[in-house]
Structure 1
Amino acid sequence: MRPRAGTGVLRLASQGLRPRLVARAPAIRTLTSRPLRHVTTSSPSTTPSRAFAAVATAPAPADDLAPPPPTPAAAPVPVLGAERARAALNDIATILHTDVGGSSAWYARVEAALSDLSDTRRGRLAVVGDSLAGPRDVVSAVLEEPLSDSADTTRAIEERYLGTGDDTLAITYDARAARLPGQLTVPSSFLSQSGADVVEIQPGPDAIAHTLAADAVVLVLDPIRLTTAPALKDVLAPALAKGNVHFVVNGTLPPSATEETVRAALAEQLKHITVPGTPHPTYDLSFVNAAAAMRAASALSAALGSDAAGGAKAKAFATFQRDFVGSAIGPLRGTLLTAIPPGYQLRTAENTAHQAIAYTESVLGSDRNVLLSASDVVADLRAEATSGAGKARRMSVVTKGVSSGVVEGSIDSSVAQAKADIQQLFDGRLSWLGLVARLRVDDVGADIGSYISRQFCADTQRQLVYEAGQLSELQGTLGASADRTARQLSSSRTPQGPEANVAGHPFSSPLLLNHLSSLGLSIPPVEPRTLLPPLTSRRNQLLSTVVPRLQVSAQRSLLTTYALSLAGVSASWVACVPPLALISGYTATGLGLLSVVGGLALGQHFWARAQRRFWKDWARVTDMLKDDLVVHYDKTVKALVLSRPETAADGLQELVAKRETRLKELEGRLERLRERLADQTAADST
């Protein structure tokens, strides 16, 4: 049975003994056609130089580590008991893709978790850290076991980055050493005994996906910055949410720091990290010195060399014992050997599902904030429209006036002025005696009609034309604000790239935008004469009915006066002259004058009654003028000025209500998914 990795080294380090090896592990044959190359040991007086993975610069020979030969793919063996996890992941993928407009990167991570459940695999131990923390040195120190591994295995581990880029590298176990893009296979005793692959994650856009796909995560920190290193910014929270995370502080502590102060500083930093679904994350913390561990391994390799002299071997063993114990790599190696828990694939898939649910809930929370913001925007749009229209109405001439009197500049004041001007005409040019003296009754209709046509509420008309200009400006402002608000709420809220939405924005409504555009074309603009129809209508009513009726009354009054006077004079004259000669000439003259005076008096009575009827009709027409102007003003504001903002507000409010209902439905689905996953996790734990 193969010895456990690290046990022989620990025993040597603790007892200070020189091992007596019966046989070395067989050398690893490369996957090329060239014969096996034997490892040349150094002279006793020198220590062999080692090419550390963190500082490798020269490319390896092209034929030194060839790709493995093609092998037939084995039939996939699905993970047992993963049906409920698959169902949950499928539901989350559906929600992400079609319902919430989630991240395409998260959708890909959920799909990767589904694919991972389709076939059993080895465990995955992810290692990530800033380059200054030396994560590659930590991996080399953990993987290298001089007592169990051959020199070729050690060399393959050390030179794993020679001739490659800085992509994420997966180191897996195989009986033969081979290299593929992004993968290295070596017969490492650590990989064999742990049953896990080591994945060295490089900072980049795929770091989170690799971290989620791992079954355990090792975060390598330098003792100065700890978790504030830029390389850990994106992966820290997902790693802590997995619950199986190991912090490794690599390097010599500063003179003023101790392990306790570093632990306290790390705990303080982690307090400010928001871990979805894990308010108090658990973790392990180890302090190692990978450089010392690698020096110890080099010294042990030199001591085990067959050509080494006795004194050199003793010195090498002393160096090994000192550096290996001081590096503390042995306890870390023992911890990582058991870092992969039982049922790791199912646990990893369930953890990905939990984190995807947490992300989806954050998206829904963001949408709910957008809902609140949208409601505020809609309310602001309504308030802006209502405030603008209300202010314009309060300043308008149609609302001026009080019930107890007449206010200057109001419609009542303008009507009262017109009435006073017409009354002056009645008292002067159109008085009864003036009409009788001029014998021109047509002047009544001409003068009154001319005044009403030119002067009736002229100041009110000018004010209404001015207010129409103000409403036109308000119409344009509110229309532009409505369009801008609708398009602003319909714009995407997520950045471009892998985190961009794969579904539409919750308030994206091309139908609403098209309706607003059509409405903007169909609504006529407010023109100078838009507010004048009630005034024009009442003026025309005065000219077409009231003034002609006054004209007829004036004609009737004048004809009555003329007829009565002529009849009285004629009768007096006939009664005075022969053959009747009934009365004397003086009497006839008196009767004639009396008939003329009576005719004038009767005509004046008729004219006064005609004027009273005129003022009665005037009051009926002008009293409704203000009401007509108020109604028409409000109708104009509603139909022409407020139509677009109210339509936009109503449409957006409907979208908000629909999205609110949809969010409640999605939150219910996520809650049921969380309960299902919790039950599954509890069942797996038992």
Structure 2
Amino acid sequence: MVPAPRRLATLRPCFCRTSAARTALTRSRSLSSAASPTPSASAPPTAPPPTTAELLVDLRDLVGRYPLLRETSWATRLDGALADLKHPRRARIAVVGDKQSGASALVTAAFDDPLASDGEVTVALASRRLGDAPEAVALTYGSTTQTSAHEVAISSPWLRDNKADVVEVVHGDVPALQSSLDALYSSDAVVLLLSESRGLTSTTTRSILSELASKPNLILALNTLEPSHPSATKALEAHLATLLSPDSQPEVRAVSTEQALEALEALAPTEPGHEVSYEKFSAGYVGSGVPQLKDRLAQAVSTLDAPSAENNVPSSLRLQTARHTLAKGVDVAAFEGAKIADRLHQAASDVAALSFETTEAADAVLASLGVEDGLLKIPNEEVAAASAELHELLDGRLAWYLLPLRLDDLTSEIALVTSATYLPHFESHLIYSTGRLVSLSSSLSTKVDTLLSTSPAFSPSSRTDSPLSSLYSPTLLNTLAQATVESTTISSSSLSSPLIARRSQLTAPGGPAEVLQSRAQKSVASAMSLSLGSVAVGVGMQVMEYAELATSGGVALLGTTMAAWGLQRGWEKAKKRFFVDVEKRVTGGLEEDLGIAAQRLVERSTYKARTAIALTEELLRKKQGDFEQFKARLARIEEGRRKL
């Protein structure tokens, strides 16, 4: 486990003035000094810097308002640091190490003093780790020896004289419990004991070191067989130089728990027949380095009751401990804040990519359909082919000279031809494009679902990480579920239905075909009237003997010819008006209808994606605004901490 950086520059405040602001400030001061040259003018009093307790309260409120630290007990640690500043307490010393380090042996060697205590102390210390012992066991001073599952009270003169308690933490190869880490944070001095065989190779040990690296009175003790050898700690110091910065290097000492316990055994033999040897005890115990370590710890906690300059707090030692907790809490909050910023940035990038892809896909579909300025342009060759079929019909089976015989079949003939020849290929193209829109809708829906299921920001589990980095919203999911139904209600005829409607309009009542038939009827009626009238005049002239037979026949033939010419001319006009109606009322209106239908279908196919984009962008704006407030508050706390 690589130690987390102590400070994150991304969340540190930048309290600097721009050159323009400095210029304005200089001018302001110049004008002020010119207007008030007397030295009696005094600057307004500045607010006193915040105290450690006030900063702890601010950070505690920040952690409570934005639950950032799910896996650590920072609320408990900050509350404990505040309580320690407000109420007198005994000094706290922690001895921590894994099961191979000999942490229990070190505590026994340090506080089992046969010369100053009775045998009950030895028994209590020997039995505290028997059976299913907890990870952390506290040693406190008591006039009589008492033991419980988590605490042992012994009549130790050293604990009494130094007004100190000791917590012994023995962990395995798994991370230490949060309660154990809380005890380490609240301790005024910590001894991290390392075995000579493992050193700092243990991941758990390095994790604890990274947690406490900047803590005052942190001592790394190497449990070795020859603690007095000059090179006993050289390898450990070299390893530390690769893990920590020079200003974070803790004090390193060498001890030998085996040598110290052998010295105690020489003073109070447990084996029958062994004689007491004060010389062996003195040489072995002093040579083990344990007494020197105890003296160093006594020196570290000696300032427990020394006066402090901060609000008359009676203990500078407690201030050191509280300030370390404050600094580490700010560091961890900043680190969590950086992760939140990364998660929000990643979510914003994912949403922006989805928005770009949705826009590009919609534009591509509209471009492939030929939508321009709201109109879906029909290819000229399609219109020309449809017009040619109608011309062939009106010039062939419905030619002017056949009108009197086919007049009643005109509308049905046009309907028969247009149903098969009026833009059939274009209709197939529209149906194919509708399939593309269905595919687009499905593709975008899948991308939205993938984004919501794979992005950590939208995962329900992210709610336990930090509310600031979570975009999970039941309202969003419910809205998108409804949007899924809206975006998938696209049938194969959704886009071609305007074409079918306009095609049927050709022969609908009041449509171009009916108008054409009405005009054809008028033309035929006029021609028939003129032809019959001419024949009647010719017959009358012949009967009345007003003219010769040839003249009468000529009059009848002339009238019939004029009737035929009128019918042909009227039919041509009717056809021209028919094609104009088809162009304006059917083809032109069809392009507008298809343009509207295409845009609506594109909107429907992208509805889920656009809804997801709009809602997530709104959530992102809110979360980013809240995060900016969090950063500003954390920056103020850090600035106040630097001023302490």
Q: Is the 8 A contact 1:397 1:463 kept in 2?
A: no
Indicate the residue corresponding to 2:596 in structure 1: 631
Q: Which runs of 5+ in 2 are unaligned?
A: 1-49, 305-314
Matched ranges for 1:371-520 at <5 A = 371-396=344-369, 411-436=379-404, 439-486=405-452, 489-493=457-461, 500-501=464-465, 506-520=470-484
How much has 1:187 moved relative to structure 2?
2.2
Deviation at 1:469, TM superposition (A): 3.5
Counterpart for residue 635 of structure 2: 671
Counterpart in the other structure of 2:254: 287
1:649 equivalent in alignment to 2:613: yes
2:89 equivalent in structure 1: 121
> 2-side partners of 1:179 and 1:515: how far apart?
61
Deviations 1:307-351 (A, max 9, x none): 99xxx77xx455345434542333322211112254233332332
Matches within 5 A, 1:130-279: 130-162=98-130, 165-203=133-171, 204-205=176-177, 206-252=179-225, 259-270=233-244
1:529-568 superposed matches below 5 A: 529-544=493-508, 545-568=511-534
One-letter identity of the residue aligned with 2:342: N
Structure 1 residues 593-632: aligned runs within 5 Å: 593-620=557-584, 621-632=586-597
**Count of equivalent residues:** 569
Q: TM-score normalised to the size of structure 2?
A: 0.80
Return the alpha-carbon distance in structure 1 between the equivalents of residues 193 and 618 of structure 2. 52
- Matching residue's letter, 2:418: I
Equivalent position amino acid for 1:261 in 2: A
Q: Distance in 1 between matches of 2:226 and 2:525?
A: 126
Contact 2:188–2:216 (Cα < 8 Å) also in 1? no
State the Cα distance separating 1:288 from its structure 2 match: 1.5
1:95 corresponding residue in structure 2? 62
How far residue 372 of structure 1 moved from its aligned partner, in angstroms, is 0.8
Does the residue aligned with 1:246 lie in a helix, a strand or coil?
strand
Deviations 1:537-566 (A, max 9, x none): 322332232111111121222222222222
Report SS of the residue matched to 1:102: coil
Aligned partner of 1:331 among 264, 289, 292: 292
Letter in 1 for 2:91: G
1:633 and 1:248 map into 2 onto residues whose CA distance is 77
Q: What is the letter of the counterpart of residue 430 of structure 2?
A: L
Distance 1:609 1:351 in 2: 100
Range moving further from structure 2, 88-97 or 667-676:
88-97
Query: Hey, what does 2:17 align to over in structure 1?
Result: none
Q: Is the partner of 1:381 in helix, strand or coil?
A: helix
Offset, 1:243: 3.1
Q: Which AA in structure 2 matches 1:319?
A: K
Give the aligned residue type for 2:212: A
Q: Which one is further off, 365-374 or 386-395?
A: 386-395
For 1:338, give the aligned amino acid. Answer: Q
Q: Distance in 2 between matches of 1:116 and 1:260?
A: 37
Take 2:136 and 2:233, find their aligned partners in 1: how far apart are those partners?
31
For 2:538, which of 572, 580, 598 is the aligned residue?
572
- Aligned residue number for residue 40 of structure 2: none
3-state SS in 2 of match to 1:200 = strand
Q: Report the secondary structure of 1:242's partner residue.
A: coil
The CA distance in 1 between the partners of 2:90 and 2:602, in whole Å, is 73
Q: Is the 8 A contact 2:407 2:517 kept in 1?
A: yes
CA distance in structure 1 between the partners assigned to 2:350 and 2:203 by the alignment:
38
TM-score, scaled to structure 1: 0.75
Inter-partner Cα distance in structure 1 for 2:190 and 2:631: 31
Q: What is the CA–CA distance in structure 2 between the aligned matches of 1:230 and 1:609, rounded to whole Å?
A: 97
Distance 1:425 1:398, change over 3 A: farther
3-state SS of paired residue (1:140): helix
Which position in structure 1 is the counterpart of 2:324? 351
1:21 alignment counterpart:
none
Which residue does the alignment assign to 2:33?
none
Look up the equivalent residue of 1:628 and give its one-letter code. D
Residue 504 of structure 1 deviates from its aligned partner by: 8.1
The Cα of 1:669 is off from its aligned counterpart by 1.1
Counterpart Cα distance in 1 of 2:132 and 2:541: 146
Q: Give the 3-state SS of the residue equivalent to 1:419 in structure 2.
A: helix
Specify whether residues 131 and 459 from structure 1 end up closer, same or farther in structure 2 by C-alpha distance, changes over 3 A only. Answer: same
- Equivalent residue, structure 2, for 1:13: none
Q: CA deviation at 1:286?
A: 0.4
Q: Is the 8 A contact 2:56 2:78 kept in 1?
A: yes
Secondary structure of residue in 2 paired with 1:508: coil
1:398–1:411 contact (8 Å) kept in structure 2: no
Distance 1:447 1:186 in 2: 115
CA contact (8 A) 1:241 1:281 kept: yes
Structure 1 SS opposite 2:92: strand
Q: Quick check: which has more Rg, 1 or 2?
A: 1
User: For residue 73 of structure 2, what is the aligned residue in structure 1?
Assistant: 105
Matching residue's letter, 2:383: V
Q: Tell me if the contact between 2:498 and 2:590 (Cα under 8 Å) persists in the aligned partners.
A: yes
Deviations 1:175-199 (A, max 9, x none): 3222233111222232233332111
SS in 1 for 2:574: helix
The letter of the residue matching 1:355 is K
**How big is the shift at 1:246?**
0.5
The separation in 2 between residues aligned to 1:619 and 1:94, in whole angstroms, is 74
- CA-based RMSD: 3.3
Match in the other structure for 1:24: none
Q: Deviations over 1:31-68 (max 9, x none)?
A: xxxxxxxxxxxxxxxxxxxxxxxxxxxxxxxxxxxxxx
Contact 1:569 1:592 in 2 (8 A): yes
Distance 1:184 1:459 in 2: 94
Q: Does the CA-based 8 Å contact 2:138-2:166 persist in structure 1?
A: yes
- CA shift for structure 1 position 624: 3.7
Q: Could you tell me how far apart the structure 2 residues matched to 1:494 and 1:284 are?
A: 40
Deviation at 1:598, TM superposition (A): 1.9
